[in-house]
Amino acid sequence: MNLLIRKMTLDDLEQVTAIDQLSFSLPWPPRSFQFEVTDNPASRNWVAEMEGQTVGLLVAWLIVDEIHIATFAVHPNFRRQKIGEQLLAHALKSASAEGALKSFLEVRASNHAAREMYRKFGYLEDGIRKGYYKDNGEDAILMTLERIRL
């Protein structure tokens, strides 16, 4: 099936918010996505679209030579089809073209699917933020990709 990765627009916000809510126990308020699209100059926002449907989202912040993955999800009905992999690769490649050399993120300790995907990309686990997530006090694992190579 044809997958298109493109910049997020205001027209995507309804579907983006729905995917976010299906994917996280602490979803972002819808106005946060709006802010990222319209008001945050550091923000690099992507969606994956399949046959007219938004099936994935990724929000990242480009700060000098670092790209911080802020949130990233694939609709539950479309997982394990390499959509996440393609979204992340696209975001990293695009950031690299803008001068990003490294990337970092936080991930829930229990999120083995995401940790596995990041490891595949070369991210290393290099820190823990104890009790970072407010809903259940779970730790965040900090992961860093020292050199973006795609």
Ligand X SMILES: CC(C)(COP(=O)(O)OP(=O)(O)OC[C@H]1O[C@@H](n2cnc3c(N)ncnc32)[C@H](O)[C@@H]1OP(=O)(O)O)[C@@H](O)C(=O)NCCC(=O)NCCS
Q: Which residues are catalytic, by number?
A: 106, 118
Does residue 26 bind ligand X (CB under 6 A)?
no
Does residue 5 bind ligand X (CB under 6 A)?
no
CB 92 within 8 A of CB 58: no
Does residue 114 bind ligand X (CB under 6 A)?
yes
- Decide: residue 27, CB within 10 A, 0-12 exposed, 13-18 middle, 19+ buried: middle
Tell the smallest beta-carbon distance from residue 37 to ligand X (Å): 19
Closest by CA position to 142, among listed 66, 64, 89: 66
Query: In whole angstroms, what is the distance from residue 15 CA to residue 24 CA?
Result: 14
* Choice from 77, 120, 124, 129 touching ligand X (CB under 6 A): 120
User: What binding mask, one character per residue, do residues 74-113 give for ligand X by CB under 6 A, x or -?
Assistant: x----xxxxxxx-------------------x-x---xxx
Does residue 46 bind ligand X (CB under 6 A)?
no
